[in-house]
Structure formats: structure tokens, C-alpha cells
Structure 1
Amino acid sequence: MWKGVLPAVTTKFKEDGSLDHEEMTRCFQIQMDAGVDGLIACGSLGEGPMLSQDERIEVFKLCKAVSGDKPSLLTVAEAATRDACALAEKAAKAGADGLMVVPSTIYHTDPRETVATLKAIAQAGDLPIMIYSNRLAYRVDVTVEIMEQLAKDARFVAVKESSDDIRRSTEIINRFGDRFDLLTGVDNLAFEALSIGAIGWVAGLCLAFPDETVAIYRLVQAGRYKEALDIYRWFRPLLDLDVSTYLVQNIKLAEALAIGSNERVRAPRLPLAGERRAKVEQVIKSAIACRPKLPALA
């Protein structure tokens, strides 16, 4: 159902902290013009937990308006299952093509609770679901054994694999074949995951460098691994910025420098400052200065 490059878009704010619809529309269109295969709203990178449910639906609707006939998904990541189910229902009414679902953002569910939570959200929204498995950020590991239980429900169609263990991707394929669409969610493991069978990339640095991200994906799919790897090696210092407590600030700074956007974030986050900012800015500017020429794509 879902494959290709699906950027997890950032949420843009005006100086007064309100949603900046115009800037989001502009940035989302840059992604679509580069050839991405869909958009995902209000994930970790989209500061979803800092937004009200109504704001998240607003951001999703902007994604949907820009993505056209390509899928737009809304992230469901709530502390309480009740609230997650309510958001899933709102997403369905707003026309979501699917949901990317995190089990819980506060309480670290055990396997039985994880299955119950995910099934409840699926029932509430009645939409296709991408299971977001990120044991590092969210402390809940959606294991292969848990996926086995969820596989009986046809609404669970995909897995965003973010365990940070590349072996997990092979384990999922070995256990389920093509039952789940397997997408990588770790930018600096993307080439590795795509090379061993992932069919999609939920991407972060794509927001600042969409052409390079799309090129890597398409080249791998065409079996042109050497060309993809050359770009990936250039890209790697940038991709490392996605694997950080400060991924939102890092990537918004990259957007500011690469596509002329802004760095505004919602408190308690603050834009990068001091030595940390200087280091990230150097990484971004150095990459821009030696940006590779991209090969022709089919």
C-alpha cells in the first residue's frame, strides 16, 4: 500500500506561535515537486505532541491538499488510548489515507497493553495503519512477536522500523514476507534498510534535501547501488542530524539554510544556540558547498 519516500513533515509556526499555513503549504509543495510518494503529518519531527488535536487536523488537511492523489497520513501518538482513539476518529473524518501509530508516549506499555492499544486505535479510526516501532525514543518495542498478533487484523498494513537495529528489518521480512509494507524510519540507516528489502523511507532530512533523498531511493530500486551509495555517503553527516534529541531543531535549521524556511519551534523547545548551533550549521553548510550532481532518473 505504501512505498517510496514519505517525509515526516515539520510543522511551521508564525512569530506569534500560531500555525503558518502558507509556509507549510510552500514547504510541502517542495517535497511533492521533488517526487516524494506521500506526506506524514505531526510525528515527532512535526512536533505532534506539542499540538492540540485540532491543530494536528489542520496540519494534516494542508498535507492532504498538497499531496493530491498521493497518500497523506496523520501520526497518532497520545499518552492515553482514549485520546488516541479520538484523534483516529477525527483523522478518518478529515480524509486521512492512513495513520502512523505510536503505542503510548508516556506510559511504557507491556506487550499485552501494546497490542490492546494498537487494536483499539485501529478499531476507532478504521483506517490503514503504519505501526511505528521506535524502542529508543518511545521506550516501547513493537517486536516481531507483537506484530504476529497484529497481522491478523488487515488494517495493520505497514511498519516504520526504527529500532536502530538493522537486523530487525530482515527478521520482519523473514517472518512475514510481504504481509507488512516495511519502511525504514532511521535516516542514517536508510541505504542499509533499502538494500535488504525495505520498500519505503519515512524521511527527515528529505525536508531540506528532497532531491537527494528521492534519488537514493529510486537508484536503489533500479539496482544502481553504486550511484545511490555515492550520494548516501555525501548525505551521511546530514542524516546523522535526524538521530538526536534535537532532531526537530536540527532539521528546521537545515530547512532554513537549504530552502529558506524558518527555525521556529514550539516551547519548551527553543532553536539551537551557541556551540551546538555552530556545529550543526557547519555540517549543513559544508554539505551544501559540495552538493553532488545527481544522475538522471527514470
Structure 2
Amino acid sequence: MTKFNGVHVALVTPMKKDYSVDFTRLTEICNWLIDEGVDGLVPAGSLGEYATLSHEERAKVVETVIEASNNRVPVIVGTGAAATQDVIYWAKHAKDNGAAGIMALPPINYNPLENEVIYHYKQLSNVGIPIIAYNNPRDYATDLTPDLLARLSKIENVVAVKEFSGDIRRVHDIIEKTDLEVLIGVDDLGMEGPLSGATGWISGVPNALPKEGIELFNLARAGKIEEALPLYRRLLPLFHFDAQPQLVQAIKYMMELAEQPAGPTRPPRLPLTNEEYIDIKNAFLLAKNKHVNV
């Protein structure tokens, strides 16, 4: 039985003009996304700019999202940190505040040995909260290959993987070699993932277009390719921004276009160029079936 079905939005952290966290907007965004029908919320991930938050801010972000959810949808908390003891701290904080699970990267501050990766997840398992292992070899040194995931899947509380390698063949291999739930992690596989057996999607662009993301995922999971494909092709130019280093700036601008503003990004993330904003706006209009500038 799967625990994390459907579309879970990797939340942005809304900021005010002075770069302070806008907790009021965070609550409003959570309520809007839940009303739009998302299946879960994921605070304190990469898209949430967790690495730029102070300890107090990060704790309050997690607590605000869990409070806003009010058990209407599960909350999966990102626990990324340099030291295993710090990841354990955030896992315990998530559990103590009522999170449904955590999204946990392998060690991030260097290229660890396989036994170190396994130790890392075993220590997290001792917290006693469901773990979604986060595989992101695009941005971090470790690649949680299907063979390594087969070993991790034997750890009691490792129940799923967020697969962000961008290689759709990984979904098939993980399903064959493990009993883990697979949540697709990169938006531009938002159709191929569920077609290949992914039961969940930890998504970025649905911060701005939740209904479209939900419709696409459900059509693909049901195998309705003829209905899913036109929608997917409209959304795909936007989805590509999710796989770029500037994904946070891009998705926050998409939210502004969707009339759900989330403010600026904290340095070192800086505003995009005018040309990039024009590209995002045109892709957004295409996704909404509106006029596109030529």
C-alpha cells in the first residue's frame, strides 16, 4: 500500500521585499494549493531555499505548513543538511510536529562511500518516520542508483524515493529491484513518470499551476495518453525550467503570473534577465492556452 500517492508540491518559501520570510503568504499559498486539490505539501526542500534560512526560520516554515495543512493533506519535510546529526534533528522536528514523512538527501557536503550513505539512512530510520530518499545526482555528488536503492530499501523506514536523475529508465529499474514507492522528481518527466509506474510526483511548476499538474498526472497514471499528451506538450516548456539551476527564480515568477506572488529569492540567487522572464511568460501563456509573444 502506497503512502505518498499523487502530486505533492515542493513549496517555495515566500519572501518580503526585505528578504524576510512571509509566513502569512506561506499559509495562504498552502491553503490555495490544498483547495486546488494537491495531494501533499513539501516544505524546506531545494525549491524552498532551505539553505538560506536561519535555524529559527526553517523551523517556523515547517511548523507553519503543518499547521496550515491541518491534516487535510500529508506534509513531507525536507531535511537537507551537511551533517547527519543535523539531518536527524530536522527529522525529529518533523516527526514531533506531525509530519507524514521526510524527504532526505544522502550526505551532501562531499562524495561519500556507499557504506557511509547506508549508515546515514540507518541513523535517520531510528527517528521512526517514513523516509523518501532523494536522489539528485544533477546537483549533488551521490547517485542513488537502483542497486544502491535496493540496499537502502531494506532499511525499515525507507519507503520511497524521489527520483530526480532525469533518466526515465531508472523508474523501471527501481520498481524491478526494490519495493520502494517511486515519486518522480523532475517536472519534465511529469507524464513519463506515472506512465512508467511512479505513483507520486514531487513537483515544482504546480506551485503556479496545480490543477494542470494534477490533471496531467492523473491522466498519465490512468494510461490516457491521447488526453494527456496535448496538455503535457503545453506544459513542457515550463517544466524544463524546473530542471535548471535557476528553478527557484523561474517558479516564483510563474507564481506571480498565476496571481499567487511569492516575492524575491534570497541571494546568492539573483533576479533573472529580462529575456529569461519573457521566455517564462511566453511559456506560461502557452500552458494557459493564451496568446504567446512572437
The interval holding the TM-score normalised by the smaller chain is: over 0.9
Query: In structure 2, what is the Cα distance between the partners aligned to 1:180 and 1:69?
Result: 24
Measured in 2, the distance between the counterparts of 1:260 and 1:99 equals 26
Distance (whole Å) between structure 1 residues aligned to residue 5 and residue 121 of structure 2: 22
Q: Partner letter of residue 259 of structure 2?
A: I
- Which residue of 17, 35, 38 corresponds with 1:15? 17
2:100 is the counterpart of 1:97: yes
Residues 247 and 138 (structure 1 numbering): CA distance in 2 closer, same or farther, change over 3 Å? same
Alpha-carbon separation, structure 1, partners of 2:132 and 2:54 = 22
Partner of 1:213: 213
Q: Report how far residue 199 of structure 1 moved.
A: 0.5
Q: What displacement does 1:289 show? A: 4.7
Measured against aligned partners, the alpha-carbon deviations of 1:214-264 in whole angstroms (never above 9, x if no partner) come to: 111222233322111211111100111101010000000000111230431
Aligned to 1:120: 123
Counterpart amino acid of 1:100?
M
Match of residue 140 from structure 1: 142
Cα distance in 1 between the residues matched to 2:262 and 2:183: 28
Once the two structures are overlaid, the 10-residue window that deviates more, 264-273 or 243-252, is 264-273
Secondary structure of residue in 2 paired with 1:135: coil
Shift of 1:266: 1.3
Partner Cα distance (1:230, 1:274) in 2: 29
| Residue among 49, 52, 76 paired with 1:73 | 76
- Cα distance in 2, alignment partners of residues 143 and 120 from structure 1: 20
Cα distance in 1, alignment partners of residues 130 and 56 from structure 2: 21
Equivalent position of 1:272 in the other structure: 272
Given that 2:197 and 2:221 are in contact with CA atoms closer than 8 Å, whether structure 1 keeps it comes out as no
- Secondary structure of the structure 1 residue equivalent to 2:124: helix
Asked if the contact 1:103/1:118 (under 8 Å) is kept, the reply is: yes
Q: How does 1:52-63 map to 2 (within 5 A)?
A: 52-63=54-65
* 1:144-180 per-position Cα deviation (integer Å, ceiling 9, x unaligned): 222222222220011101111111100011112xx21
- Partner Cα distance (2:195, 2:64) in 1: 33
Matches of 1:262 and 1:65, distance apart in 2 = 19
Tell me which amino acid in the other structure corresponds to 1:188. D
For the 8 Å contact 2:125–2:156, the answer to whether it is kept is no
Distance in 1, matches of 2:282 and 2:170, equals 33
What is aligned with 1:257? 257
Match of 1:30, SS? helix
Unpaired runs of 5+ residues, structure 1, are: 292-298
CA deviation profile, 1:46-91 (whole Å, cap 9, x unmatched): 1111112332221122221232232101101111112112222222
CA contact (8 A) 1:249 1:263 kept: no
Return the offset for 1:119. 1.6
Q: Distance in 1 between matches of 2:11 and 2:185?
A: 13
Question: Structure 1 CA distance, aligned partners of 2:170 and 2:24?
Answer: 39
Query: SS of 1:183's equivalent?
Result: strand
Could you say which residue in structure 1 is the equivalent of 2:239? 239
- TM-score normalized by the length of structure 1: 0.91
**Amino acid paired to 2:198:** A
Match of 2:201, SS?
Answer: strand
Amino acid at match of 2:54: S
Identity %: 35
Which secondary structure state, in structure 1, belongs to the residue aligned with residue 47 of structure 2?
A: coil
C-alpha separation in 1, matches of 2:262 and 2:175:
39
Residue of structure 2 in register with 1:168 after alignment: 170
The offset of 1:273, in angstroms, is 2.9
Partner of 1:199: 199
Deviation at 1:267, TM superposition (A): 1.4
How many equivalent residue pairs?
A: 288
Two-structure CA RMSD over aligned residues (Å)? 1.6
Whole-angstrom distance in 2 between the partners of 1:17 and 1:34: 27
Runs of at least 4 residues of structure 1 off by over 4 A? Answer: none
Equivalent residue of 1:136, what SS?
Answer: coil
